Structure 1
Amino acid sequence: MNQLYKKTVLATLFALGSISAFAADETQANGAWSGSLGVVNKYIYRGSEENDKPAVQAGLEYGHNSGFFAGYWGSTLNYDPTDDTQSHGFEHDFYVGYGRELNENLSYKSQVMAYVYQGGGSIYNEDRSEKRRTTGVEFLNDVTYKDLTVGIGVLLSDVSYGNAGDVYLNAAYSYVLPYDVSLNSAVGVSVFNDSRDDSLLSTTEDVVFTEARLGVSKPLADTGIEFMSDYVWGGKDREGERLDDNVVVGLTYSF
């Protein structure tokens, strides 16, 4: 891990940690801050390994009473999408959206998410005649009924890992067990758009099972820390390659 990378991670954690004391008690008349700090043994996103080593993750969000919200979430990675020689990187997710509770059992949320990677920039094909940016933008929508959430995400831009028009469908269900333990499950399916393929990205599978998760979570007394453990069954990627199964274990402090 180089010095610049260390400084980036430490600066992010210091800034969020400094804000936590303020955010915990600061609830203004028109909205409130919330955030999280966490660590996981692996970072698995939609079945793919974004970091197969311990990852530090942090987020901060402001929610307005009108339903509008904006926030940031970040994680360490074990790669740099623009430099194959690097074994580390950082993912920055910025989002803005709107959500409301329709009644005590039903709510919805829509948001636009920008995925920005350390170094940014573009990747090129061998003769540098074509390029794709690593920064992507996705439109996400979730509907929650009691403990069931169903969602759809639509990629809005061509990027190094996907085509505009790619769709991700997912569902998650949480069931409360005794002793404040929650049984959590989720499943995701990808619908790929191959009409925008080029020399940098190819698609052989139109619809694939992406991942399924089953695990447990439990808050640790009144500390604000939650323990989680998931088993992740990997599906396939857009080229039909099998994704690995993984066990993910982590701790998250929420404020």
Structure 2
Amino acid sequence: MSQLPKFSLLLLFATMTSVAGAQDAPTSVNGEVSASIGVVNKYIYRGGEENDDPAVQLGVEYAHNSGVFAGYWGSTLNYDPSDESQNHGFEHDFYIGYGRELNENWSYKSQLISYYYQDGGTIYSEDDLDERRTIGFELLNDVSYKNLTMGLGVMLADASYANAGDVYLSAAYNHPLPKDFSLNTSVGASIYNDSHDDQLLNTTESIAFNETRIGLSKTVAKKIDLSLDYIYGGEDREGSDLDDHVVVGATYNF
């Protein structure tokens, strides 16, 4: 079966399942719980391929009225970072943070996020002298003015895919369009720290543009978000070119 029919079946299944079990998000005087489930034809993160097959993604978050929030987000992968023999895996992201609206135009958000893959694990160099955990920790900070958001992420510990001190800079802008459409654009670049390089991670670029995105999204029935994005790939930390992608997705929010 080709990838397009596979994705169409996944999309149809996720939409039908979500609509059939739709309920309003639980609320209380102190905060609110929100959740989502969706599918994309491929999962691209900061220009890199995390899954070039259809991926199922889900998340849940509790936001307290004080500004404190905590949540989980996960996605299927077509690899396991600690086991090269596997062609499947799962990414688990756990986060906690604080954010507030300063006024009708300005807001900010800071969060600590842990990236946990499959069952965790460690990778080793060929001579077993170097080892790295697949678990990563990052501090993410966003400042928003109206529809423009500027982001800065800092890796806090070495991982199999990053060095402590790596910095990711991003800017995203969305513009509302008629008929519940939205124009979405973003750009991302990294400042890499090479002082922790070893046999497992090699850095040749101190600064690299990673990706640019432009796309459209539309809300259907107030809870289903459909999206189409074109991703122009840049380079990774080794100077390798990243591919361009077209990503189609559907997410049900409840």
Pairwise same-fold verdict (TM > 0.5) = yes
Rounded Cα–Cα distance in structure 1 between residues aligned with 2:135 and 2:25: 35
Matched, 1:242 2:241: yes
CA deviation digits over 1:61-105, x for unaligned, max 9? 000000000000000000000111110000000000000000011
* Identity rate, percent: 64
Aligned residues of 2:81 and 2:134 also touching (Cα < 8 A) = yes
Rounded Cα–Cα distance in structure 2 between residues aligned with 1:208 and 1:75: 26
Matched, 1:121 2:93: no
Between 93-102 and 127-136, the greater mean CA deviation after superposition: 127-136
Gaps of 5+ in 2: 1-13
Q: Quote the residue 2:66 is aligned against.
A: 66
Q: Quote the residue 2:224 is aligned against.
A: 225
Q: Quote the residue 1:138 is aligned against.
A: 138
Q: Quote the residue 2:35 is aligned against.
A: 35
Rounded Cα–Cα distance in structure 2 between residues aligned with 1:212 and 1:21: 34
Equivalent position SS for 1:249: strand
Equivalent position SS for 1:27: coil
CA deviation digits over 1:128-166, x for unaligned, max 9? 121000000000000010000000000000000010000
Cα gap change, 1:122 to 1:218, in 2 (>3 Å) = same
Q: CA RMSD in A?
A: 1.4
Q: Quote the residue 2:103 is aligned against.
A: 103
Rounded Cα–Cα distance in structure 2 between residues aligned with 1:160 and 1:87: 18
Equivalent position SS for 1:218: strand
Aligned partner of 2:203: which letter? T
Q: Quote the residue 2:93 is aligned against.
A: 93
Rounded Cα–Cα distance in structure 2 between residues aligned with 1:149 and 1:26: 28
Rounded Cα–Cα distance in structure 2 between residues aligned with 1:177 and 1:39: 24
How far residue 120 of structure 1 moved from its aligned partner, in angstroms, is 0.7
Aligned partner of 1:234: which letter? G
Rounded Cα–Cα distance in structure 1 between residues aligned with 2:74 and 2:171: 23
Rounded Cα–Cα distance in structure 1 between residues aligned with 2:188 and 2:129: 35
Q: How many residues align?
A: 237
Aligned partner of 1:251: which letter? A
- Which contiguous aligned blocks of 4+ residues in structure 1 show a shift greater than 4 angstroms? none
Aligned partner of 1:58: which letter? L
Q: Quote the residue 1:9 is aligned against.
A: none
Residue correspondence of structure 1 range 197-208 to structure 2 within 5 A: 197-208=197-208
Q: Quote the residue 1:193 is aligned against.
A: 193
CA deviation digits over 1:8-46, x for unaligned, max 9? xxxxx9xxx7xx866x24211100100110000000000
- What TM-score results when the alignment is normalised by the length of structure 1? 0.91
- What TM-score results when the alignment is normalised by the length of structure 2? 0.91
Rounded Cα–Cα distance in structure 1 between residues aligned with 2:201 and 2:25: 47
Q: Quote the residue 1:52 is aligned against.
A: 52
